[in-house]
Structure 1
């Protein structure tokens, strides 16, 4: 039952939105207002028998060459002339000469955009689609988002146009005769240039939950911002943003659908973003933000700063996205304050959304929505109007810039139209409102062709990460080379330590010997806290970031074994030993001499005396030998 109720409410919401759209268009539509088909001229240059000039309806996708022209040889496929299937071969229509090929296809069988995509894939420089019925030209539009599952519409880069059936038949007849048919598609007069200033409008929406269309608008605003601001500051253009609204019919004013989608008692309405009244944001939230963005432009214009609208819209969709549930008044006013705009004036411009009165700003928007004269109604979003002519083609930075530049008379083009090298110099004023580190002079503000962007930079190979507005921190292996990665570091007594390690992609960690959170580190006393130097006879002395162990006496400390050992003796340590050895040698030599000359002589005498007692000796009677038995008399000689 709950699911059935939710489905019924969703259906009722869609039905009510459809009723609001139909009544708005019918009751606001003035006589003569219509959808205008924007055209380019197509001229047959060769053969002479076919020379003629015709109109072609510029497609609402691809990239028309506004301000320029394209001349090429016409080709018509032998099979698959409707172009609904990819063509066989490797780019069969790619030109083999300096002149490009323009592909002619027949209408029918599939979407216009698919035909052009297949032609682009086959190498064609442009595509002409011949109508299948005799009727006024219509604008070839892209299909709904859910049809384009492959995303080919955004990938179309070539121009295309729809031509009348009769013109298409004449071109095919010429090709059948093997004629070299050369045509020129000319966009130089597609945008009028009445004076030296281009006036253009952008019809958009603050809702970012409408799928590919919303993403396209947001991407365009962000990418085109730099061009727009340079043109506006130089006085070359007059830009005006617009927002489509409609009103609730009197019979529905008190319904819950109108109350959720409208403000000022049903006068100004927008569809529910989720197309479900029971969830998410409501249509009136979108109307209020649309009105706020209009008032930002109006108030900024009063102070000659109309280009600030581009900054506000860009920053709002970055910081106050509906997808992130930040789409609110408070977030919007925070962005306004950051840009230096007067909030009170903007609040006065918005007025009271609950009051039963007309809102001057939104009433003017409803009147501008209706076409007048040669200008058509604005019925789809997004729509760009340049010099009162609706722009056709992909909403892309380069293509739109070229279309705007086509609105200037020749020789009056501003420099931005002649060069893509653009500097906005917004970072020079208050750093563009972006993050900056004054200590290392690193900033997230960058001037580009898109205007200033707040984006964390890469400095000397080091990438910073953050939102770019309030914070950026270094990240990656080389981050320590930039301000030590924001970590603690200190040098003392020839030693330097840091809490930043190149092995860690982020974070700060105190090195060994220190403790702390990485942003502040203090020395650890290893001697007291870790009981270093435990060996017998060791003593510990704490140092900054480390410690020293010392042994008693002359012993040497070995840290790996936590032990003391004797030091290796030097060459002078052997000197005492040598002295001892020398003394021993002298004693030995002295003993040998004593033995040889003194002791041995005495022993020989004693032996001779003993032997004389037992053996007769020659000349004994002549010699009287004194023996040990005959003691010597005192005083004898």
Structure 2
């Protein structure tokens, strides 16, 4: 929360608010508090208020009991504390460090204490005054390095209470306190109502980055809570108005719509270049209408999808922040553009806009909620959330807003499956023929990211296009290229050797995603020879020659199919001579082969079998008389 002086300075620099708005803003300043109870020593038993720091992570719904420590050196905490985690507790109780206010940013004090091992920080006020909220420092390179890394709670305490703690510590007494956030978040019923004051501008530095990252990361939780009826979420947008005396000035005309009634600062702080403030107001109004129209069809959670995708697809940084890009995002989520246009109305008309007028009235704080003066601001059950805008920290704060035993399952486990891809494919690209989708569910909600299928990579923006590339791409839906089959013939614009694009095959023309047959006959690119006639076919052509001529495609020429009688006689003589020569050679070869084999067989047999003359002179052993065979 900014102070009234800082707020006044901001308004004066923009000259977009009147004195009435300034006074109401300062009058509506509210400090969110938690209670501190002193548990030890017994002589100090008491209860005190503390102002919750607007950074770090307050333990909404919980409490912390710890021993208080006041450093001997560096009581302001503006420099890193000496030693290795000097505040790390040696006892079961954690250490709560007491630091003096002054000399440097609140957040820097808490960061240095966290690095030294502190579990929480109490900052002692330096003067007697009503409690204020310790805010993050203004955007700077130094602050960007540590503010987002603070993960412990902190609070500002009154000067008199701080002095009593210091006196007890000087006496070496064990001072034990309890920081209690259980009643910091009201829980009036079984439903938590919360609102986020945000902006569609993405060119405002760390604050814009913080809110865009939060919306993207918290989307999954928000939609589960909304669909289950556990929460009621409402987005809001801050606008200013231009005093009547300045409505015709170039500054007001570039930053306002509806004749100066609703304005936003120029994104680049330069009226002569880039986007203008009225571009931001117009998109803010469009996002309000997206929520209203989606809510009418009981799909209020679609706001999270639209805003997340708009930041990704229609970024100012990429020069895509436009009405056309916004409508493309709406179409991807099935939002009725005509109804949204009707809700927006005419930004040039000299009339009040119903939605934006309500937004300006809601900026002024009522009851327990202060005025909204900075972005982003989260309000839960009409109490401003304190701490960094981070997924788990905010979820815990929302869950603390439920009555005991009425909290939904998401508050018990953060391991979620959002199943956002089941509805309209999450607004992502898909190929229904090949059953391929770029939608992927994560614990933070769905992301639109071109997939990898069976080793084949797809690339594109994930929202409107994904195309296969690399080896094997033609095996999946023909690589996204054109393909068609006719008359039993199939042609494709996808080639495995071409790893990047789609090219129509020979005989077709087009961009590779749609190919049409080339009529070679009409384009006079075929059958140009004399006596030729051309007939176009799908993917090719046929040429015929007149009479009995034969068409030769390579030479695009016709030749005679029948030669002269002498030519045929000469051809017959040559063929007959060739046939006779072949037959004679075959007979000669067969005779020589038979003779050679007969001689070889005879030679082999003579080595193993006696000749007929030898057989007649020998008496077989088996035929000798028995007595001869027994004598020597």
Q: What TM-score comes out, normalization by structure 1 length?
A: 0.73
Q: How much has 1:76 moved relative to structure 2? A: 2.0
Mapped pair 1:239 → 2:257 = no
Mapped pair 1:191 → 2:181 = no
The alignment covers a number of residue pairs equal to 511
Equivalences for residues 352-501 of structure 1 within 5 A:
352-438=346-432, 440-458=434-452, 464-473=458-467
Question: SS at 1:184's partner residue?
Answer: strand
**397-406 or 330-339: which moved more?**
330-339
Report the Cα distance in structure 1 between the residues aligned to 2:219 and 2:19, rounded to whole angstroms. Answer: 31
Contact 2:96 2:121 in 1 (8 A): yes
Contact 1:21 1:246 in 2 (8 A): no
Equivalences for residues 217-236 of structure 1 within 5 A:
217-236=211-230
Q: 1:63 aligns with which of 57, 60, 76?
A: 57
Report the Cα distance in structure 1 between the residues aligned to 2:100 and 2:471, rounded to whole angstroms. Answer: 58
Report the Cα distance in structure 2 between the residues aligned to 1:370 and 1:518, rounded to whole angstroms. Answer: 59
Q: How much has 1:145 moved relative to structure 2? A: 1.2
Contact 2:313 2:325 in 1 (8 A): yes
Match of 1:563 in 2: none
Equivalences for residues 242-253 of structure 1 within 5 A:
242-253=236-247
Q: How much has 1:32 moved relative to structure 2? A: 8.8
Alpha-carbon distance change, 49 to 484 in structure 1, aligned in 2, over 3 angstroms = farther
Alpha-carbon distance change, 474 to 128 in structure 1, aligned in 2, over 3 angstroms = farther
Report the Cα distance in structure 2 between the residues aligned to 1:167 and 1:479, rounded to whole angstroms. Answer: 71
Q: How much has 1:397 moved relative to structure 2? A: 0.9
Report the Cα distance in structure 2 between the residues aligned to 1:475 and 1:98, rounded to whole angstroms. Answer: 58
Question: SS at 2:339's partner residue?
Answer: helix
**29-38 or 185-194: which moved more?**
29-38
Q: How much has 1:398 moved relative to structure 2? A: 0.8
Contact 2:425 2:439 in 1 (8 A): yes
Match of 2:298 in 1: 304
Match of 1:513 in 2: none
Match of 1:121 in 2: 115
Question: SS at 1:148's partner residue?
Answer: helix
Q: How much has 1:245 moved relative to structure 2? A: 0.7
Match of 2:519 in 1: none
- Structure 1, unpaired ranges of 5+: 1-13, 490-497, 511-516, 523-527, 530-572, 587-637
Question: SS at 2:17's partner residue?
Answer: helix
Listed one character per residue, the Cα deviations across residues 548-600 of structure 1 (whole Å, up to 9, x for unaligned) are: xxxxxxxxxxxxxxxxxxxxxxxxx9x969967996999xxxxxxxxxxxxxx
The two structures, once aligned, show a CA RMSD in angstroms of: 3.6
Q: How much has 1:154 moved relative to structure 2? A: 0.8
Q: 2:260 aligns with which of 254, 261, 266?
A: 266
Match of 1:493 in 2: none
Contact 1:33 1:370 in 2 (8 A): no
Alpha-carbon distance change, 478 to 133 in structure 1, aligned in 2, over 3 angstroms = farther
Alpha-carbon distance change, 98 to 460 in structure 1, aligned in 2, over 3 angstroms = farther
Contact 2:77 2:109 in 1 (8 A): yes
Report the Cα distance in structure 2 between the residues aligned to 1:509 and 1:250, rounded to whole angstroms. Answer: 59
Listed one character per residue, the Cα deviations across residues 178-200 of structure 1 (whole Å, up to 9, x for unaligned) are: 22222111111111111111111
Match of 1:140 in 2: 134
Contact 1:29 1:370 in 2 (8 A): no
Q: How much has 1:470 moved relative to structure 2? A: 2.6
Report the Cα distance in structure 2 between the residues aligned to 1:482 and 1:61, rounded to whole angstroms. Answer: 50
Match of 1:175 in 2: 169
Report the Cα distance in structure 2 between the residues aligned to 1:165 and 1:345, rounded to whole angstroms. Answer: 56
- Structure 2, unpaired ranges of 5+: 1-7, 484-493, 504-510, 516-538, 540-552, 555-592, 607-632
Q: How much has 1:438 moved relative to structure 2? A: 3.9
Q: How much has 1:442 moved relative to structure 2? A: 3.1
Match of 1:316 in 2: 310
Q: What TM-score comes out, normalization by structure 2 length?
A: 0.73
Report the Cα distance in structure 2 between the residues aligned to 1:290 and 1:150, rounded to whole angstroms. Answer: 27
